[in-house]
Structure 1
Amino acid sequence: MLTSNGYVLDESAGRLGELEAVPDQERDDRQALRARLVRDGYLFLRGLLDPEEVLGFRKYYFERTAGAVERAAFRKVLFGEVVPGLEYAAFCTQPALRGWFEWFLGGETFLHKRKIIRQTSPGERGIGFATQAHYDLVYLREGTDRVLSAWIPLGDCPVTLGGLTYLEGSHHRVLREEAAGTLKRPAASITADLPSLADEYDARWLVTDYEVGDVVIHTAHTVHAALDNVDPDGTARLSTDIRYQLSTAPVDARWQHHWHDQDGL
């Protein structure tokens, strides 16, 4: 049973599907990838990163936060050491990531300084624990809408660990409603109620078992959310999401500070 913020997803054929990975024959075809991104709103790239690089950063993260049992101590380490640290910066700018964006976008890239690390554990299932359904432009309106987000599971992430899920074809409707000025969503998110949103859009939530090294790229208009971590072995889900764009495009200045959960964004 798949849930998000405690809501049980409808697993019927019309409401739940499989996230489609980019086929091997398209991996080096920039025009085919751009067309796929326009069509689907996301690019699921299996094995883009070296698993050892990913696991190395995962090990560093848990070693740095291991002794911070109390919430205040954990936050001090996370926001004072890990997020602004050289290790995180190096991970997010590794050639396999920055190089891919430079190739795909066709020019010099800019990485937003506000980069987010999310850790969720089994049992955290109430509203507010999993990322609610939203599209990124809600938070990035002061820059280009051509910014691309990369969601990276920091380790294997089967659906039981609560990975990211995408609402199929949602970017087409969001683009239309953005252009028409008819969106009536709260600023913070769309909703925690993923089943109702799927009914409203008449669309499927797309899920998959992510493996270490996988990356999903999505547009600023694509609706996505996170599942609850219900892993029976107690494994924590660790992931990061970062944002690249062309350096020549307008930049949202609010995103040029290190991430903090009290930064108002």
Structure 2
Amino acid sequence: MLTSNGYVLDEQRLGELVAVPEEERGDRAQLRARLQRDGYLFLTGLLDPAAVLAFREYYFGLTGSAADGASYRKVLFEEIVPGPEYAAFCAQPALKGWFEWFLGGEPFLHRRKIIRQTAPGENGIGTATQAHYDLVYLRGGSDQVLSAWIPLGDCPVSRGGLTYLEGSHHRVLEEEAAGRLKRPAASITADLPALAAQYDANWLVADYRAGDVVVHTAHTVHAALDNVSTELRLSTDIRYQRADDAIDDRWQNHWHDRDGL
């Protein structure tokens, strides 16, 4: 049984996130068409798993000794988030180079990069990332910014990975164009089953492995599942765009969970 913020997902409204076939991986035109059609690119094994696991080990090496929440936050926001290890991980050649190739120009990585840790058994509204699309938080720049969600270690469905609402970017694009979604930055809802029914669409899930990356558009609705496993879920989400497109200046400071964005 899969849940998100305590809401039980309808098994009839579940689907599978489809990985990009190997034969398409080097065809930029096909990838762009796929992204336009599906709203996401599930790139299995894009990163070296050893690099992912090394960063995971570095993270837990620093946070593992935190005795309480305040100590953990101090390590996270004063050492890890602004640190050179995190910067190097997010700009590693396998990642930055892919975006340079895909975007067809100099890539720009937003400084505000987010690390999310979810413990087993955390549920109830506010514990998992609620349904949203990223553009509502990035209004000050290009709507062509792309997000990369990266599991920092294996992340089977039970561990609470990201889930995508199938085809949702088409509806969001239409409603954005019509001006019906111009509102302050906010999530859509914590009630994923109700949103699936409203959109008449499935929530797409996958068993992620270390090295996998999911790239999605700023219009694609997504959310996180609850962690119903016995292991911590660790992930990061970062954003790349072309350097010559408009950039949201608010996202050029290091992430803090009290930065108001």
TM over 0.5: yes
- The one-letter amino acid paired with 1:125 is N
Cα shift at 1:187: 2.9
Q: 2:167 aligns with which of 163, 166, 169?
A: 169
After superposition, residues 225-264 of structure 1 pair within 5 angstroms as: 225-231=223-229, 234-264=230-260
Q: TM-score, normalised by structure 1?
A: 0.97
User: In 2, distance between residues paired with 1:173 and 1:73?
Assistant: 43
- The one-letter amino acid paired with 2:147 is S
Determine the structure 2 residue equivalent to 1:218: 216
- The one-letter amino acid paired with 1:74 is Y
Cα shift at 1:183: 2.5
- The one-letter amino acid paired with 2:84 is L
Q: TM-score, normalised by structure 2?
A: 0.99
- The one-letter amino acid paired with 1:62 is F
User: In 2, distance between residues paired with 1:56 and 1:222?
Assistant: 30
Maintained 8 Å contact 2:136/2:184: no
Determine the structure 2 residue equivalent to 1:150: 148
Indicate yes or no: 2:6 matched with 1:6.
yes
Taking a change above 3 Å as real, the CA distance of residues 182 and 219 of structure 1, as seen in their structure-2 partners, is: same
Cα shift at 1:246: 0.2
After superposition, residues 57-206 of structure 1 pair within 5 angstroms as: 57-183=55-181, 187-206=185-204
User: In 2, distance between residues paired with 1:52 and 1:255?
Assistant: 29
Cα shift at 1:184: 7.4
Determine the structure 2 residue equivalent to 1:43: 41
Cα shift at 1:186: 6.3
Maintained 8 Å contact 2:5/2:125: yes
Runs of 4+ in 1 over 6 A off after TM superposition: none
Query: Which shifted more, 33-42 or 61-70?
Result: 61-70
User: In 2, distance between residues paired with 1:69 and 1:47?
Assistant: 35
User: In 2, distance between residues paired with 1:11 and 1:63?
Assistant: 38
Q: How many residues align?
A: 261
User: In 1, distance between residues paired with 2:171 and 2:260?
Assistant: 27
- The one-letter amino acid paired with 1:261 is D
User: In 2, distance between residues paired with 1:186 and 1:130?
Assistant: 20
Cα shift at 1:188: 1.6
Cα shift at 1:185: 6.4
Maintained 8 Å contact 2:148/2:237: yes
Q: Deviations over 1:188-210 (max 9, x none)?
A: 20000000000000000000100
Q: Deviations over 1:132-188 (max 9, x none)?
A: 000000100000000000000000000000000000000000000000011376632
Query: Which shifted more, 175-184 or 136-145?
Result: 175-184
User: In 1, distance between residues paired with 2:250 and 2:192?
Assistant: 28
User: In 1, distance between residues paired with 2:141 and 2:182?
Assistant: 21
- The one-letter amino acid paired with 1:207 is V
Identity of aligned residues (%): 77
User: In 2, distance between residues paired with 1:44 and 1:196?
Assistant: 25
Describe the SS at the equivalent of 1:119. Answer: strand
User: In 1, distance between residues paired with 2:107 and 2:211?
Assistant: 21
Determine the structure 2 residue equivalent to 1:29: 27
Describe the SS at the equivalent of 1:17. Answer: strand
Gaps in structure 2 of 5+ consecutive residues: none
Describe the SS at the equivalent of 2:207. Answer: coil
